[in-house]
Amino acid sequence: MSLLPKTEEWRSSGSRLIGFYALFFVAWGALFTGVLYWEISHYLGTVAERTLLQRAHYYQKIDDKKLVKELAISEAYSTPGIDAYGLFAPDGQHVAGDLLKLRSSLPDDGKVYYLERGLSIALPEKETRSSYALLARRPNGHILILARDGGSISAVGGIIEQALLWGFSLTLIPGLIGWRLLRRRPLRRVKRLQLCTESIVSGNLAERLPLSARRDELDMLASAVNTMLDHIEQLMHEVKSVCDGVAHDLRTPLTRLRARLYQLQQLPLNSDHQHTLNQALEESESIMVRFQGLLRVAELDDIRRRSAFTPFPIMALLQQAHEFYEPLALDRSQTLSLEITSDLPRLYGDSSLLFEALVNLLDNAIKFAPEGGHIKLRGSIKDSTVIIEVADDGAGIPEADRAHVIRRLYRGEASSRQPGHGLGLSLVSAIAKLHGYSLDIQPAAIGRGTRVLIHCPMVSD
C-alpha cells in the first residue's frame, strides 16, 4: 500500500532548488550583461563623439584651399574602415574622401549623431555599418562630413555575449553534474524511508526508519518518528493485550453460562419459561459469536501470518465458493452466477483465508438480496491486477456508511434489521489488508445493489 505516488526526480526539493538557482543565475547574468553592455556602449559613444568634435574643431581652423590636402594627410594616419570623411560641393557632388554619398537627413548643426544604418564607405566590401557622424559647413559652402565606425560597440556586445555564455557553461554544466551526483544519495534515502513507512502502514509495527551515520536533518526526523513508533507500538500492544485478555476471560464464563442455560432447557418447564430460556440461549450464542469474530479479526492483524503464504490458483477458489453457496441461493429462489473473463493467474497468499473472505461476501450478498434476486461472483484482470467482485441487487449500502461498514461491530441502519453481528466485512477487510490487497465498496452499476471488489496485485511465482 502506497502512501503517496512516487515522486518524479525533477519534483524533489533539491531539483526545485537547483532549478530556482539556475533561473536566478540566468536572470541575474542577463541583467548584469545588459548593464555592462549599456555602460560600455555609452563610454565608446562618448569617446567617438569627443574624437569627432576634436577633428571638426581642428579642420575648422584649416583654410579651404588646404583642406583637401590636410584631410588626405590625416586619412593616411587613420585606420581604414574606422575613421572616414567626405567633402561635398554645395550641390552635393562628391569632392574627396571615402564617404561617397551625402546623407541629407544628417542635421547641419555641428553636433554628433548616431546613425543606425551608417554611411556608404568606399571599402572593397561596400558594406554599410552604423556610425557616429558630424556635418560641418565650410565658409566656401562645401560640406564636410566626419564619421567614425560604430561597429565596435556591436563587437563589444558580441564579446560580452560570448563571455556570458562561457560563464553560464562554466557554472551550469558543473552545477548540473554536481546536482545529479549529490541528489542521488538523498533521493535513495527518501525512497528507503518511504518503503519502510509503507511497511509500517501495512501493519508491521516493528519496522523502523533507517538511520545513517551522518546524523543530518533526515536522520533527526527519522529518529523522532522512530521514537514515536516505539510509543505507538507499545500502546497498541497494551490495548491489544487488554482486548484479547478481556475476550479470553469473558469467553470462559459465557461458555459456562451457555452450558447452564442448556442444562435448564433440558428440564421440564412451562411454555413461558421455555421461551425465555430459548431467548437467553440465543443471546448467549450471539455474544459468543461476536467474541469469536473479534478474536479472529485480531488474529488476522498479526503480520507474521504472511510467513505461511504460498501460490494458489484463484480460479479453483472461485469455483469452489460458487459450488458451496449456489444451493443456499437456490433455497431463496436466487440466482448465483459465476463469471470468469479469462484464465486467471495464481495469486500469492493464504487460500483458506481468501476463501473465508469470499464466504463472508457471498453470505452477505445472499442475506441482503431479495427473494428471486441475482448475485454475481466475478473474476477478471485489469492492469496487472486480479479483481474479485461480489455483486447483488439488494437494497445497497448508503454512501455515508461505505467507509464505516468495515469497522468492527458496525451495523448501518439498513443492516440492523437483518441478523448478523457486524463483523463480516471487518473480517474481509482484515484478510485483504494482510495480503496487501485493497477492498472497494461501490453501488451497483445499474439499479440497486452493492458491489464489493477485492483488488489483488499479481505477483510472479
Average pLDDT on 404-411 reads 62
Four-point Cα dihedral 118, 70, 66, 146, nearest 10: 20
Report helix, strand or coil for 460: coil
Residues 234 and 336 placed together within one structural domain of the fold: no
Residues 312 and 277 placed together within one structural domain of the fold: no
Indicate whether 30 pLDDT > 80. Answer: no
73: domain CATH number is 3.30.450.20
Ramachandran class of 63: left when φ > 0, alpha when ψ lies in -120 to 50, beta otherwise: beta
Report helix, strand or coil for 391: strand
Partnered with residue 443 across adjacent β-strands are 450
Q: 401 or 123: which carries more pLDDT confidence?
A: 401
Q: 191 or 418: which carries more pLDDT confidence?
A: 191
Residues 331 and 449 placed together within one structural domain of the fold: yes
What's the pLDDT at 281?
66
Domain of 123, in residue numbers:
1-197
Determine, yes or no, domain membership for 203: no
Indicate whether 290 pLDDT > 80. Answer: no
Indicate whether 183 pLDDT > 60. Answer: yes
Determine, yes or no, domain membership for 233: yes
Indicate whether 3 pLDDT > 50. Answer: no
Indicate whether 315 pLDDT > 80. Answer: yes
Angle (CA) 290 293 299, round 5°:
145
Determine, yes or no, domain membership for 207: no
Residues 277 and 155 placed together within one structural domain of the fold: no
Residues 275 and 385 placed together within one structural domain of the fold: no
Q: 104 or 289: which carries more pLDDT confidence?
A: 104
Residue (of 150, 146, 86) closest to 116 by Cα position = 150
Determine, yes or no, domain membership for 270: yes
CA distance 8 to 23: 20
* Domain limit, last residue, from 301, 323, 342: 301
CA atoms within 13 A on the CB side of 408: 14
Residues 328 and 452 placed together within one structural domain of the fold: yes
Strand order in the sheet with 385-392: 335-340, 374-381, 385-392, 450-457, 438-443
- CB neighbours of residue 287 within 10 Å: 16
Percent helix / strand / coil, the chain, rounded to 5: 55, 20, 25
Residues 264 and 240 placed together within one structural domain of the fold: yes
Average pLDDT on 46-59 reads 85
Average pLDDT on 334-358 reads 86
At 383, give phi and psi (nearest 5°). Answer: 55, 55
Residues 263 and 231 placed together within one structural domain of the fold: yes
Number of domains in the chain: 3
Determine, yes or no, domain membership for 211: no
Residues 253 and 368 placed together within one structural domain of the fold: no
* Domain limit, last residue, from 286, 301, 316: 301
What's the pLDDT at 38?
80
What's the pLDDT at 436?
82
Helix (H) or strand (E) segment spanning residue 278? helix 271-300
Indicate whether 336 pLDDT > 80. Answer: yes
- CB neighbours of residue 396 within 10 Å: 20
Average pLDDT on 51-71 reads 84
Taking the CA atoms of the chain, what radius of gyration do you get in angstroms?
46
- CB neighbours of residue 170 within 10 Å: 10
Q: 265 or 24: which carries more pLDDT confidence?
A: 24
- pLDDT band at residue 4, thresholds of 50, 70 and 90? very low
Partnered with residue 8 across adjacent β-strands are none
- On whether the pTM is more than 0.75, the answer is no
Indicate whether 266 pLDDT > 60. Answer: yes
Determine, yes or no, domain membership for 279: yes
- pLDDT band at residue 272, thresholds of 50, 70 and 90? low
Determine, yes or no, domain membership for 449: yes
What is the pairing mode between strands 374-381 and 335-340?
A: parallel
CA distance 171 to 201: 43
Determine, yes or no, domain membership for 209: no
Residues 147 and 23 placed together within one structural domain of the fold: yes
Please classify residue 55 by burial: count the beta carbons closer than 10 Å to its beta carbon, then call 0-12 exposed, 13-18 middle and 19+ buried: buried
Residues 265 and 120 placed together within one structural domain of the fold: no
What's the pLDDT at 92?
82
Residues 283 and 315 placed together within one structural domain of the fold: no
432: domain CATH number is 3.30.565.10
CA distance 454 to 312: 16
Report helix, strand or coil for 268: coil
pLDDT single digits (tens) 128-177: 567 788 888 888 888 888 888 776 666 666 777 777 777 777 666 766 67
* Domain limit, last residue, from 269, 286, 301: 301
Least confident of 9-13, 244-248, 261-265, 320-324: 9-13
